[in-house]
Structure 1
Amino acid sequence: MVVDTATNTLFVSNYQANTVALLDGLSHEVLKTVDVSGNPCAIVFDQERKTAYVTAERGDKVYAIDAISGKIKTSFDVVGPYEMVVSSKTGWLYVTSDSTGRVFVIDPESGSTLSTLHIEAPCGITINREKDIVYVSSETTGKVHVIDGRTNNIVATIPVEEGPRGMAVNPETDTLLVINTFSNSVSVIDEAENRVTDTLTVDNGPRRIAVNPNTNTAYVISLVEGSLGFIDLNTNTIIESVTVPRPYDVAVDSQNNLVYVSNPFSNQLYVVEGFEREIVTPRPGAIAAEYIIIGVAVGVVAAGAAAGFMILRRRSGKDTEGRE
């Protein structure tokens, strides 16, 4: 799940339905639906090239989708693709393959593999786009590997806590945040020194994290606890935790200060307003049952708007609700 902040377009993958949906991030209307075989999973967006890339986890492919036309431009073979980032400087893709213990560096223009890095159980991946530094977490070793995007070499290894998975970068402060699933914590890392400067305790079963650099706020989803935690990165403190049933993935629209959280077990997408803590969620049954979501995915109505959104507004300590 990823947001193009320039057009307010949300790209989401429907794992079991084998589609990728382009949604209006403000109205939640489905603009286009693209057929993609092989169980689409991770999605990244290249703003410069107006292209979305999606991994087909069981199809051993990565697809390139034109963001304007909504059509597949090309595809190329990758063994066991899972997570992925794209470099805004080179346009290269960095694709983790946990089944093979590798990270593939791919030139999407030619589809050729430029480099292959061997990392045990590569799981999460993120990138500092300004510095072109890629970070890969190894879930079984408790380490984060630092890759220089200029040379595609591993230049450092940072020990964190148990079960590192999702990661996010705040480019404004050059801070890397790492989810430690088995330790129920978040490691705060100084990118300049490649060292942990703080460790924060979060709700049970944290899985993924996203950052809004404009507000210096991080959002942590905890699958076991069923929550979305708000971290003030100015003070490295949890400022609030909102109940979100069985969250699985999170994405941020930094321009509109919206947070998107998917629930793959009820086929729902939650939209949280960053300042007001306003939660928008489709009613149960509003989404077609065949659109099962898993990983970076969200169920959507086959065509038209995902109607019947419920709005929970938190005002003065009281909850009120409405519909749109």
Structure 2
Amino acid sequence: MGDVTAVVDPPGKARRLGTDNRKEKRRAYKKYRVLLLLMIPSVVYVTIFNYIPIYGLLIAFENFHITKGFFNSPWVGLEHFRNAFQDPYFFVVLKNTILISLYKMLWGFPIPILFAVLLSEVRNAKFKKTVQTVSYLPHFISWIILGGIFMSIFSLDGPVNAVIRLFGGDPILFMADQQYFRAVLVATSVLASFGWSSIIYFAAIAGIDPHLHEAAVVDGAGRLKRMLYITIPLLMPVISIMLVLSMSGILDAGFDQIFNMYNTNVYDVSDIIDTYVYRKGLVDMDYGYATAVGLFKSLVGLVLMLTVNGLAKKMGGGEHTLW
């Protein structure tokens, strides 16, 4: 057999490639310098409010005292986590959080998709813009105001009970009845958020090639078939990614809403991890225990997001996942 000679690039070529890469990077930085400058406020915001507070997780493993600080408070290890799992009420709170979050996802996830798909078929541009604007408005209103509005609507003298009386029924105290309170939370949450949540689906629909619809019309497809066989299938990558993102917040049942709407009569069905942490941390000043419960919630959300992302990658490929 003949000699096999390895082909090795000369050192000069490697240096030239490295120099060319650096030049390409400099050209890219120069080309996109305005966009990079626009990123600076976001990077600063995330650093200050998301990364620097990570040091505060030390409190979950300490018997924290404000006067002693993070590094001088007594270290207790996993004691706060053990106390949480030994507290029967913690599991009541966990159950409420999971149930309310699942109910909100069950109703709140598909409704924005359906709203965007149906409204995109409306041909009257003025009517479409008006409906979109009205649907966005609740997102910009604080839950302090929305909570008061909804509490008035569902009060004994509110319009809902007025309709019940009109049909001969007895008025219901929705805001203090454990049987109805979760349904009120879910319904008001969906009503307040579906318009804003639909924006990304409107954007995705606007990016669909109109020639696909034109070809389907030539073939005799009506609006329903075009929605079923063109619009919705092309929305699936966006829907999948939004589902993965929503799973990361599965234990975020809505602190602002519940804190402004619940009361002691419905604690057993509406007290969630966030309100529980608020009371333990800021009212009872048990900072270590509250931080431990909050950390547990974050870890569960992370595990769920990784799991759903992995399942989506196996079923739909890389375009249906975050990474």
TM-score normalised per structure 2: 0.19
TM-score normalised per structure 1: 0.19
Decide which structure has the larger Cα Rg and report it.
Answer: 2
**1 or 2 for the larger relative contact order (CA 8 Å, sep ≥6)?**
2
